[in-house]
């Protein structure tokens, strides 16, 4: 097994292409995750695959690595047509994949994890000394600093990732796929990872790198392939691309929504955010110095490539994440000091971006899901006792009003389609008579018909005088619905444009981190 290690002579193949995917299509039910994608990766390059969440990046790589079988299309590895039936076949062909979620044994040492399943043996016993020496050698050669004798359970995520990469190397990979490798890393660790990736190509290996972070892609890759909604947009040399071109390819120009007509009815200020800062889960600043207001009867949009602080902003406003600095006033109450329940009491309704985790309990019925947040309020509850009959009747009425396609209020939510689950969330949140609606990615993963219905409902809420903050990665959605659009990049609000003047070039520049010529509002 050890003879397959990188650098040692393996199958000689002089084909220029390490990987060629032709017309790959993959469907999950009615949903098309990959739609006729062609991808050619040259030997010895760092090839980035970039796209928004749900663009089909991971699906494509899982097909390449044999974890999924394509419905259509073919795969050539090193110039030879290959049927990648399972990961074992992919590994045999010289592929290696580092997943987003690591699969290590915490109680074993680093070296034992690296060689798990292919232990070096001596007299029938595991030769720990040889495993440690080999791990040490590889880690030095590629700058993957680890102590081979340390136990994995004691190590940080960044080091766990290095171990995963070592595992792939030891199994003889010449083409290494990394799925969002930087998502769990600090900036310092990311820079070290990029060094390692460069040392791979310096040895003639090939790297495929999945990401949705522009900066990294611009920094480390030789070639970029952009995916959007399951389709390939383009493959281009990185040096020929600018950041805002890349952004525009990622988010797209296809306009599927017309701008909604509206009456001016701006009222009093409902939400006032002042110098708001917050940290992400890695304790790094993710929201920086945000200040803005939202008035009654106004839809304010937040544009930006996913992961630029929008999630943190939404979570701080909903009380689900502490602010590290600054204030957010909802009708005179400072949200940063309140619990989620108190913020709801103060007048927040929230359509969360992560619908299946935050927005519903998939195992519960529609009726039980419509109760969340008002289980202590009359008429659903009297003296702490629930009136399930009233709750069920109300859920039935909501199903009618929001056109939720379900058999009834006692249907389990996870049996519904994505669009109908989102309608359950909207039905609950929009009928709470809250003054401020925080709406995060309302139409992600929702079919076109349901998208229109959801937009109708948002406009109805605007007409009813609600203050609405709409976070979306879809520019056309923002252009259709909003009165003003704030653009976020790297945790900051880069600038503001009017909703009826949503110039995509200007927004794209700001999304890529280029400051607008005009003063930001």
Partner 1 sequence: MMSDRLRAFSGQIIAVSVALLMGAIIIILVGESPVHVLMTLLRGAFGDQEKIAGTLLQTTPILICGVAACIGLRGGMFNVGIEGQLFLGGFAAAWVGFTFSLPAGIHTLAALALAVVAGAAWVAIPAFFRARYNTNEVVSTILSNYIAVLLTSYLTIFLFKRPGGWSETPPILATAYLPEIFSFSRLNWGLFIGLLLAVGVALIFRYTSWGYGVTMVGSAPKFAEYGGVNVKRQGFVVLLLSGAVGGLAGGIETLGVHHRFMEGFAPGFGFDGLIAALLANGSPVATIVTALFFGALRSGSLLLEVDTSASREIITVIQALIILSVSAQVLIRRRGDSQAGERRWKF
Give the span between the Cα atoms of 208 and 383, in whole angstroms. 60
Nearer to partner 1, 282 or 407 (CB): 407
Q: How far is the CB of 343 from partner 1 (least distance, A)?
A: 8
Nearer to partner 1, 341 or 448 (CB): 341
Nearer to partner 1, 8 or 433 (CB): 433
Q: How far is the CB of 487 from partner 1 (least distance, A)?
A: 26
Interface residues with partner 1 (CB under 8 A)?
101, 106, 318, 320, 339-344, 350, 352, 354, 357-364, 368, 371-373, 375-376, 381, 384-386, 388, 412
- Nearest one of 205, 197, 201 to 172, comparing CA atoms: 205
Give the span between the Cα atoms of 411 and 416, in whole angstroms. 8
Q: How far is the CB of 396 from partner 1 (least distance, A)?
A: 19
Q: Which neighbouring-strand residues pair with 468?
A: 299, 437
Q: How far is the CB of 449 from partner 1 (least distance, A)?
A: 24
* 3-state percent breakdown (helix, strand, coil) of the chain, nearest 5: 35, 25, 40
Nearer to partner 1, 395 or 475 (CB): 395
Q: How far is the CB of 107 from partner 1 (least distance, A)?
A: 11
Residues contacting residue 41 through CB under 8 Å, at least 6 positions apart = 17, 18, 19, 20, 47, 175, 206, 208, 223
316 close to 256: Cβ distance less than 8 angstroms? no
CB environment 226-235: b (16+ within 10 A), e (fewer): bbbebbbbee
Dig out the tokens for 237 from the structure.
């040399």
Q: How far is the CB of 359 from partner 1 (least distance, A)?
A: 7
180 close to 157: Cβ distance less than 8 angstroms? no
Nearer to partner 1, 17 or 372 (CB): 372
Dig out the tokens for 470 from the structure.
């709409």
Strands 80-81 and 206-211: unpaired
Q: Which neighbouring-strand residues pair with 349?
A: 437
Q: How far is the CB of 65 from partner 1 (least distance, A)?
A: 16
Nearer to partner 1, 59 or 206 (CB): 59
Nearer to partner 1, 234 or 342 (CB): 342
């Amino acid at each position: 097994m050890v003879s397959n290690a990188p650098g040692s002579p393996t199958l000689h193949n002089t084909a220029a292409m390490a990987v060629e995917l032709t017309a790959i299509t993959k469907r999950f039910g009615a949903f098309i995750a990959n739609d006729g994608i062609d991808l050619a990766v040259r030997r010895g390059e760092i090839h980035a695959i970039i796209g928004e969440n749900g663009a089909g990046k991971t699906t494509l790589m899982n097909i390449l690595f044999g974890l999924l079988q394509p419905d259509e299309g073919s795969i050539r590895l090193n110039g030879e047509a290959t049927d990648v039936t399972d990961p074992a076949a992919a590994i045999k062909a010289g592929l290696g994949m580092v997943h987003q979620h690591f699969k290590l044994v915490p109680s074993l040492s680093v070296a034992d994890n690296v060689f798990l399943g292919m232990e070096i043996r001596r007299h029938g016993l595991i030769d720990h000394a040889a495993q440690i020496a080999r791990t040490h050698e590889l880690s030095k050669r590629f700058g993957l600093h680890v102590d081979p004798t340390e136990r994995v359970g004691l190590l940080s995520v960044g080091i766990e990732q290095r171990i995963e990469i070592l595992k792939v190397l030891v199994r003889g990979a010449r083409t290494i796929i990394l799925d969002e490798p930087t998502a769990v890393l600090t900036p310092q660790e990311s820079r070290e990872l990029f060094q390692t990736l460069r040392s791979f190509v310096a040895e003639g290996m090939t790297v495929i790198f999945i990401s949705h972070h522009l900066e990294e892609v611009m920094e480390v890759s030789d070639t970029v392939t952009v995916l959007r909604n399951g389709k390939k947009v383009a493959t281009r040399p990185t040096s020929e691309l600018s950041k805002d071109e890349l952004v525009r390819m990622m988010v797209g120009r296809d306009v599927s929504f017309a701008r909604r007509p509206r009456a001016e009815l701006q009222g009093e200020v409902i939400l006032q955010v002042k110098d708001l800062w917050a940290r992400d889960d890695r304790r790094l600043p993710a929201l920086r110095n945000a200040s803005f207001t939202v008035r009654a009867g106004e839809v304010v949009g937040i544009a930006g490539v996913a992961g630029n602080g929008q999630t943190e902003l939404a979570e701080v406003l909903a009380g689900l994440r502490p602010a590290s600095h600054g204030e957010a006033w909802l009708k005179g109450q400072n949200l940063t000091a309140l619990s989620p329940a108190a913020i709801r009491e103060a007048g927040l309704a929230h359509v969360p971006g992560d619908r299946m985790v935050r927005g519903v309990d998939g195992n519960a019925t529609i009726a039980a899901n419509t109760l969340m947040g008002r289980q202590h309020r009359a008429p659903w509850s009297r003296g702490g006792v629930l009136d399930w009959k009233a709750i069920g009747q109300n859920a039935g009425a909501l199903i009618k009003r929001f056109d939720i396609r379900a058999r009834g209020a006692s249907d389990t939510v996870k049996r519904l389609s994505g669009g109908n689950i989102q309608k359950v969330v909207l039905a609950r949140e929009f009928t709470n008579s809250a003054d401020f609606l925080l709406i995060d990615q309302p139409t992600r993963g929702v079919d076109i018909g349901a998208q229109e219905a959801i937009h109708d409902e948002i406009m109805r809420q605007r007409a009813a005088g609600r203050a609405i903050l709409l976070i979306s990665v879809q520019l056309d959605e923002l252009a259709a619905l909003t009165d003003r659009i704030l653009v976020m990049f790297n945790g900051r609000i880069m600038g503001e444009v009017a909703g009826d003047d949503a110039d995509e070039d200007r927004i794209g520049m700001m999304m890529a981190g280029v400051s607008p010529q005009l003063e930001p509002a």
